[in-house]
Chains A and B, each alone.
Chain A
Amino acid sequence: MVLGSIFNAGVSIEYYIVLSTILFVIGAIGVMVRRNAIILLMCIELMLNAVNLLMVAFSTYFGKADGQIFVFFIMVVAAAEATVGLSILVMAYRNIRTTDVGLFNKLKG
């Protein structure tokens, strides 16, 4: 309802698209330039949240619930992914005592 009134107030769907794209690009840039694995994980979460925002916006725009349901799925999956990702990080940390992804380059060529 609240969102609906915002649309009515003149915030058109384009703004949401631009906003979420900006968020997504920030996340993507973070993924590219940061070397700390935890920050990488956070950047990916940021990208997923950008998606969530967009989904919710479109869902409201179309007046259909399926986009918002999708968002719940994304959240659940993101949580699962983060769990697995963090355990992998723990394992990696145990092995070489660092979370700097730049140091994992044994496999190449």
Chain B
Amino acid sequence: MAIDKLILLIMALPLLGAFVNGTAGKYLPKKIVGTLATLVMFAAFGLALMVFNRLHDTQIIHLFQVLNLDSITLNARLQVDSLSIWMTLVVTGVGALIHLFSMGYMSHDKGYYKFFTYLNLFIFAMLILVLGSNYFMLFFGWEGVGICSYLLIGFHYSDLEKGMLNSIAARKAFIMNRIGDLGLLVALFLILNQFGTLEYNELADRILVDKLIPSDWMMLGITLMLFIGATGKSAQIPLFTWLPDAMAGPTPVSALIHAATMVTAGIFLVVRSNYLFELAPTTQDIMLYVGLATSLVAAFIAMRQNDIKKVLAYSTVSQLGLLFVALGMGAYTAAIFHVTTHAFFKALLFLGSGSVIHAMSDEQDIRKMGGLKKFIPITHLTFLIGTLAIAGFPLLSGFYSKDEILAHAVMHNGVIYAVLMFSVALTAIYMFRMYFLVFHGEFRGSAEAKHHLHESPLNMTLPLIVLAILSVFGGLLNLPGLFFEKGTHWLSHFLEHNTRGLELIHSVHLETSQAMLLMGSAVVMTICILIASFVVYVKRGSLAKADSELTGWELASNKKLYFDEVYNKLFVQPIEWIGKMSHQVIEVAVLNKSISVFTTAIGKTGDLVRKWQTGYVSNYLLWMVLGIVGLVVYYLLKF
């Protein structure tokens, strides 16, 4: 099959799954629902691999025309190039594993078919996002994943205890995303206004070939607005607070949407528009510092979180910050590399945490866990690999991808490097803290919980194992030149090969000695932290403190630096006040009054007119004749 057919099939499969499960899922047994949803994902992944093997040049697949006006033409088109097929592989691959995991994890849920419908729909939207050939398609997918995310965060909306909270979290995510979407929309309109097209290729031609470059201010505006869109979806300051709350959704959702795929949409957007960003250095700087701040703040907050998923959520935010730092420095391929490895180990960690939560009968507080390693050995082992990978332990995937970003930072600015190193160190600290608290020491939960502890079934542990393997070896995709002369930086070359704009940005690599030094320091740091954490949490057996005992920085970290409170005071309450006032003044006092007067008047006339309808046929005949008389009189008067 030709590539275009394959791509269409890849897109159609998740949609088919969503359609079947969405319409008939209620009446099908759970086995079929889950198997169907998972199978279409594996099939899509297999097809994506086939496309990946055959892809040489950028391919555009025209589907249909959406809008054709004098000024604008919008097309539903797909574009297959290195970047989009790579993202497709990540989305379908990780997605397939998470679907498999969900079959076990959600097996007791009565909304089983709904869950898989949403999940498949999400994959479909995400594929549109990455495979679209223009910003219009991207926006379509962007909103599609947004709505799926909303539905899945609030999935347990009818839960007796937490239903309301889940709904609020979903709403928060939706609203925060809308703010970002507004930025994206403005950027789209600006692009349309300046370049007259939303197609990536045409846009790239205008800029890279024809050199039709608008003023600096315009470029700043466009890129800044694009970046605002990215901050919404990829949870950067100031719009990051929705992501930790989004953990209200089922754990596989957190793994798939809120860690591995959807939140990297912002990264994808920036990489896709790299030639725009290269023309706006100010935006790049803003991106860099926002990313840096996000990375630090989130890592700091993660230090004293006690909910296993919250820790991972803040770690995701922190990693996304790191990615934006990379983008701000122009290290696009390094960012995609880290997106990939991050997808592996963060999905692994989330699924691992899901397995833990499953074992603990829905308990998420790490203070009530401990010593789990002998109860759930596979989960423990894979979780350990994930932790090591994210902490940057030597030779695991995270080590290479982080190191590449750090290397760029060194070349960019020493201070940034130092701050990044600090953030990386914090990451290692909170990850080891969590790992040791969960898996080592004594079990701190109730006896009943202990009784229920069990390893997850195969369909849950299998994805863990696969992801653990990927987390270990994922780094080989973009092995630094340090180790071999040839075959290194494979992913960078692959992406640069046919992604517009990237070929112009040659990644500069450090001198071998400098690189060795960097890696060495990172290794030393990680190992020191590992040993220190081991000593603190295992040897000395110190435990996470109760909320009331926290003081100083620990309290600030635990309270998430009061972001939510400040936003509440700053935005939510004033807006609610305005709403209340306008309700009281405009609606009740002005609108309602005037309308009620008006309606009463109309009602009265209606009654009056109604009396005309007497019910006597003679009257009707009379009126008819009078009507004719009236017409004749009209004629006599007028003519």
| Direct touch of chains A and B (CB < 8 A) | yes
Contact with B along A98-109 (1 / 0, CB 8 A): 000110111111
Contact with A along B602-619 (1 / 0, CB 8 A): 000000001101111110
Query: Is there an interface contact between A102 and B616, defined as CB atoms closer than 8 Å?
Result: yes
Residues from chain A with Cβ under 8 Å of B616 in the complex: 101-102, 105
In the complex, A31 has a CB within 8 A of chain B: yes
Q: How far is the CA of A105 from the CA of B618 in the complex (A)?
A: 10
Q: Which of B585-611 contact A (CB under 8 A)?
A: 610-611
Query: Is there an interface contact between B618 and A109, defined as CB atoms closer than 8 Å?
Result: no
In the complex, B12 has a CB within 8 A of chain A: no
Residue of A105, A106, A107 with highest tally of chain B CB at under 10 A: A105
Q: Which residues of B contact A (CB under 8 A)?
A: 610-611, 613-618, 621-622, 625
Query: Is there an interface contact between A106 and B625, defined as CB atoms closer than 8 Å?
Result: no
Contact with B along A75-109 (1 / 0, CB 8 A): 00000000000000000000000000110111111
Query: Is there an interface contact between A28 and B614, defined as CB atoms closer than 8 Å?
Result: no
CB distance from A104 to the nearest CB of B (A): 7
Q: How far is the CA of A32 from the CA of B296 in the complex (A)?
A: 93
Among A28, A35, A106, A108, contact of B618 (Cβ-Cβ < 8 Å): A35
Query: Is there an interface contact between B625 and A32, defined as CB atoms closer than 8 Å?
Result: yes
Q: How far is the CA of A33 from the CA of B622 in the complex (A)?
A: 8
Query: Is there an interface contact between B613 and A108, defined as CB atoms closer than 8 Å?
Result: yes
A28 with B625: in contact, given A33-B618, A102-B618 (CB under 8 Å)?
Answer: yes
Q: How far is the CA of A102 from the CA of B622 in the complex (A)?
A: 13
CB distance from A83 to the nearest CB of B (A): 20
Residue of A32, A101, A102, A105 with highest tally of chain B CB at under 10 A: A32
Given contacts A32-B621, A101-B616, A108-B614, 17 further A-B pairs with CB under 8 A are A28-B625, A31-B621, A31-B625, A32-B618, A32-B622, A32-B625, A35-B618, A101-B618, A102-B616, A102-B618, A104-B617, A105-B616, A106-B615, A108-B613, A109-B610, A109-B613, A109-B615
The 10 tightest CB contacts between A and B, nearest first, are A108-B615, A105-B615, A32-B622, A101-B617, A31-B621, A28-B625, A109-B610, A105-B616, A32-B621, A108-B613
27 contacts between A and B (CB under 8 A): A28-B625, A31-B621, A31-B625, A32-B618, A32-B621, A32-B622, A32-B625, A33-B618, A35-B618, A101-B616, A101-B617, A101-B618, A102-B616, A102-B618, A104-B617, A105-B614, A105-B615, A105-B616, A106-B615, A107-B615, A108-B613, A108-B614, A108-B615, A109-B610, A109-B611, A109-B613, A109-B615
Residues from chain A with Cβ under 8 Å of B614 in the complex: 105, 108
CB distance from B613 to the nearest CB of A (A): 6
CB distance from B204 to the nearest CB of A (A): 71
Q: Which of A31-67 contact B (CB under 8 A)?
A: 31-33, 35
Residues from chain A with Cβ under 8 Å of B611 in the complex: 109
Residues from chain B with Cβ under 8 Å of A107 in the complex: 615
Residues from chain B with Cβ under 8 Å of A33 in the complex: 618
CB distance from B605 to the nearest CB of A (A): 15
CB distance from A35 to the nearest CB of B (A): 6
Q: Which residues of A contact B (CB under 8 A)?
A: 28, 31-33, 35, 101-102, 104-109
Closest partner residue, chain A, to B625 (CB atom)? A28
CB distance from B147 to the nearest CB of A (A): 49
Q: How far is the CA of A28 from the CA of B617 in the complex (A)?
A: 14
Residues from chain B with Cβ under 8 Å of A105 in the complex: 614-616
Residues from chain B with Cβ under 8 Å of A101 in the complex: 616-618
CB distance from A9 to the nearest CB of B (A): 31
CB distance from A87 to the nearest CB of B (A): 17
Residues from chain A with Cβ under 8 Å of B618 in the complex: 32-33, 35, 101-102
Residues from chain B with Cβ under 8 Å of A102 in the complex: 616, 618
Q: How far is the CA of A107 from the CA of B619 in the complex (A)?
A: 13
Q: How far is the CA of A28 from the CA of B625 in the complex (A)?
A: 7
Q: How far is the CA of A105 from the CA of B619 in the complex (A)?
A: 11
CB distance from A48 to the nearest CB of B (A): 15
CB distance from B396 to the nearest CB of A (A): 84
CB distance from A81 to the nearest CB of B (A): 16
Q: How far is the CA of A100 from the CA of B518 in the complex (A)?
A: 110
Residues from chain A with Cβ under 8 Å of B622 in the complex: 32
Residues from chain B with Cβ under 8 Å of A31 in the complex: 621, 625
Q: How far is the CA of A108 from the CA of B621 in the complex (A)?
A: 15
Q: How far is the CA of A33 from the CA of B621 in the complex (A)?
A: 9
CB distance from B627 to the nearest CB of A (A): 12
Q: How far is the CA of A28 from the CA of B618 in the complex (A)?
A: 11
Q: How far is the CA of A32 from the CA of B622 in the complex (A)?
A: 5
Closest partner residue, chain B, to A105 (CB atom)? B615
Q: How far is the CA of A28 from the CA of B622 in the complex (A)?
A: 9
CB distance from A47 to the nearest CB of B (A): 11
Residues from chain B with Cβ under 8 Å of A32 in the complex: 618, 621-622, 625
Q: How far is the CA of A45 from the CA of B617 in the complex (A)?
A: 18
CB distance from A17 to the nearest CB of B (A): 14
Q: How far is the CA of A33 from the CA of B616 in the complex (A)?
A: 12
Residues from chain A with Cβ under 8 Å of B613 in the complex: 108-109
Residues from chain A with Cβ under 8 Å of B621 in the complex: 31-32
Q: How far is the CA of A49 from the CA of B432 in the complex (A)?
A: 108
Q: How far is the CA of A85 from the CA of B621 in the complex (A)?
A: 16
Residues from chain B with Cβ under 8 Å of A35 in the complex: 618
Residues from chain B with Cβ under 8 Å of A109 in the complex: 610-611, 613, 615
Q: How far is the CA of A81 from the CA of B423 in the complex (A)?
A: 96
Q: How far is the CA of A34 from the CA of B212 in the complex (A)?
A: 88
Closest partner residue, chain B, to A37 (CB atom)? B617
Closest partner residue, chain B, to A103 (CB atom)? B616
Closest partner residue, chain A, to B610 (CB atom)? A109
Q: How far is the CA of A104 from the CA of B621 in the complex (A)?
A: 14
Residues from chain B with Cβ under 8 Å of A108 in the complex: 613-615
Q: How far is the CA of A46 from the CA of B530 in the complex (A)?
A: 113
Closest partner residue, chain A, to B629 (CB atom)? A28
Q: How far is the CA of A102 from the CA of B615 in the complex (A)?
A: 9
Closest partner residue, chain A, to B626 (CB atom)? A32
Q: How far is the CA of A108 from the CA of B617 in the complex (A)?
A: 10
CB distance from A31 to the nearest CB of B (A): 5
CB distance from B242 to the nearest CB of A (A): 57
Q: How far is the CA of A106 from the CA of B613 in the complex (A)?
A: 11
Q: How far is the CA of A102 from the CA of B616 in the complex (A)?
A: 6
Residues from chain B with Cβ under 8 Å of A106 in the complex: 615
Residues from chain B with Cβ under 8 Å of A28 in the complex: 625
Q: How far is the CA of A108 from the CA of B625 in the complex (A)?
A: 20
